[in-house]
Chain A
Amino acid sequence: MKYWREPLDRGRCEVPKGKVTIIDKRCKGCRFCVEFCPRKVLEVSKGFNEKGYHPPEIARPDDCIACGFCELVCPDFAIFVDQQASCPPPAAKAPKTQEVGAH
């Protein structure tokens, strides 16, 4: 994800992780979840559901941050997100941000 500027507490924040579940048979193919996902986790699938719509598919499951906007914006109760264990803060992997903070 591109940042307009680096958030000051980025090194200390844990990023939540989500697991998206799609109830295919309820989907009416409006694409709200696909277009308004802030991390672009979903894509429109090539396959059809039983009503003849293209339901979304999870293209990048690791990118989900469990914001839950897809669940809120779905008009058909066809998608929901479970929050999983959070990822460790990026600082643990890249101590560079801490060095920058120390200056």
Chain B
Amino acid sequence: MTEGHDEHDLQHHNGSSSVHRDRSGTVALHERHHRETGEHPLDHLLRPGRIPHIWCTGCGLGVVLTAYLNGIQKAGVDLDKVAIVSGIGCTGRIAGYINLDSFHTTHGRALPFATGLKLANPELKVSVISGDGDLFAIGGNHLIHAARRNVDMLVLCVNNFNYGMTGGQVAPTTPVTARTQTSPYGCWEHPFNLPYVAAASGAVYVARWTVLHARRLVESVAEAVRHPGFSFIEVISQCPTNFDRPNKGGEGIDLMHFYEKKTVVKNGIDPKEADIGLYTPIVCGKFVDQSKPTYDSCYTNMCTMARGGKK
């Protein structure tokens, strides 16, 4: 009796797992099943038992996660070949919520890990989802070199203008005059313009959206995943707890209304013109879309050449 029960459980488990493994063809089927049972259509891509997530009310990170999951499905890639790498911070938690192969690395080292992953297994579709502090402060050097080498991956950088998880300290993206825990009279440092840095370092696809542009973000993620080379998408998100409270920006919903009113979409402009100040209009859009040989293809060619043309 017990054995039978176990066997049934095992079969059931195997059955559901095989459906999960064969994600590429069964996404629509999954969605329909979830909708019929009253569960959210993205539940099969979220780790069971991890929702609700830890992000605050009004935070945009949940929207980024939804957009990424929709985008990766829309891209039509085999979900068994998708790997997600993230670093430390509020955004770094994303890897722990996605029910795909994911890794949560040490602070700032998401890109070196992802580069190694891609080189060891070139057929993987690697996505790095991390925050501005992780990718541009402690991991800044890794970012410029991954972009310079044109490693084939998608980097989704969520910019909330501060170190949110540790209580809201000044980050390399904090706008001038913004008040934070470590700049009580206003920040005096010049911030990074992230799309400009990425484009100048050699990224082949550079875009910026806010969390309100969820639909365009989905399209952008799908496009960038399919684009060979180093694709960089910056997502502007509010941090109602640690950044927008000292700066009197209001709650999450007020910031969403701000994005609605003050965002200008300018596709194809020079990212140099896309600077961000404290609650000044934000320029969004797809800034760079070009093609260049990727790191792994160059490496393979070089190996072939060194062997005298033999593969």
Q: Which of B218-255 contact A (CB under 8 A)?
A: 218, 252-253
Cross-chain contact A21 with B38 (CB below 8 angstroms) = yes
Check if B215 sits within 8 Å of A69, measured CB to CB: yes
> What are the residues of chain B within 8 A of A32 when measuring CB–CB?
63, 252-253, 256
Name the interface size band of chain A. Answer: 20 to 34
B14-65 with Cβ < 8 A to chain A: 35, 38-43, 46, 51-53, 55, 57-63, 65
Please measure, in the bound complex, the distance between the C-alpha atom of A74 and the C-alpha atom of B55, giving whole angstroms: 13
Task: State the CA gap A26–B43 with chains docked (Å).
Answer: 12
Within 8 A of B (CB), among A23-39: 23, 26, 28-32, 35-36
Task: Judge if B212 is at the interface, Cβ distance under 8 Å.
Answer: yes
Selected contact of A76 from candidates B38, B41, B51, CB within 8 Å: B51
Q: Are B63 and A75 in contact (CB under 8 A)?
A: yes
B70 on the A face (CB < 8 A): yes
Minimum distance in angstroms from B131 CB to a CB of chain A:
16
Complex-state Cα separation, A6 to B67, whole angstroms: 32
A32-B63, A74-B66, A77-B42 provided; 6 other pairs, C-beta below 8 A? A30-B57, A30-B58, A35-B257, A36-B212, A51-B52, A69-B214
In the A-B complex, the 3 residue pairs with the closest CB atoms: A75-B62, A72-B214, A28-B57
A/B interface sample: 9 pairs, CB < 8 A = A23-B39, A28-B52, A36-B256, A53-B57, A72-B63, A73-B212, A75-B55, A75-B65, A80-B40
